[in-house]
Amino acid sequence: MQSKWLSAAFAAAFILSMPWSAQAFECPKHIEAAEDAIDAANDSMIGLKSDLQMHRGHMLLDDAKMLLGSAKHNHKKPQNEFDHARAISKSDAAKGYAETARIYFKKFGTKK
């Protein structure tokens, strides 16, 4: 667990040390990866066994979409270079939520 935080800290330091223009060009890659993960989660959304499971899966997907929207805003209207770093981290978080939703739908969904 500690190594994950250490890796994240090094990644954040690296991103923040990049020139602003380089960070701006990194954002679209991360945003696209998050969009692909959300699409994959939507595609794997199959009948869940209960309303509670459906609600939980949708909460994960809604969080992913909210983070992606915020990342797009930070990328399109940056106040400074820090906003591009935030866009990257929010995109990565959105991708994580979407992948978790896809796994959740796969685990608790019924077969087509």
Kindly report, residue by residue over 44-76, the tens digit of the pLDDT. 877 667 788 888 889 999 999 999 999 999 999
Mean pLDDT (10-residue bins), the chain, 112 residues: 60 60 73 96 79 87 96 92 92 97 84 48
Structural domain containing residue 87: 2-108
Q: For the whole model, what pTM was predicted?
A: 0.74
Nearest to 55 by CA among 106, 105, 3, 112: 105
In the chain, the N- to C-terminal Cα span, in Å, equals: 37
* CATH code, 85: 1.20.140
Q: Give the pLDDT score at 61.
A: 94
Query: How many other CB atoms sit within 10 Å of the CB of residue 41?
Result: 24
Q: Give the pLDDT score at 57.
A: 87
Q: Give the pLDDT score at 112.
A: 47
User: If 0-12 CB within 10 Å is exposed, 13-18 middle and 19+ buried, where does residue 101 land?
Assistant: buried
Q: How many domains does the chain fold into?
A: 1
Q: Give the pLDDT score at 24.
A: 57
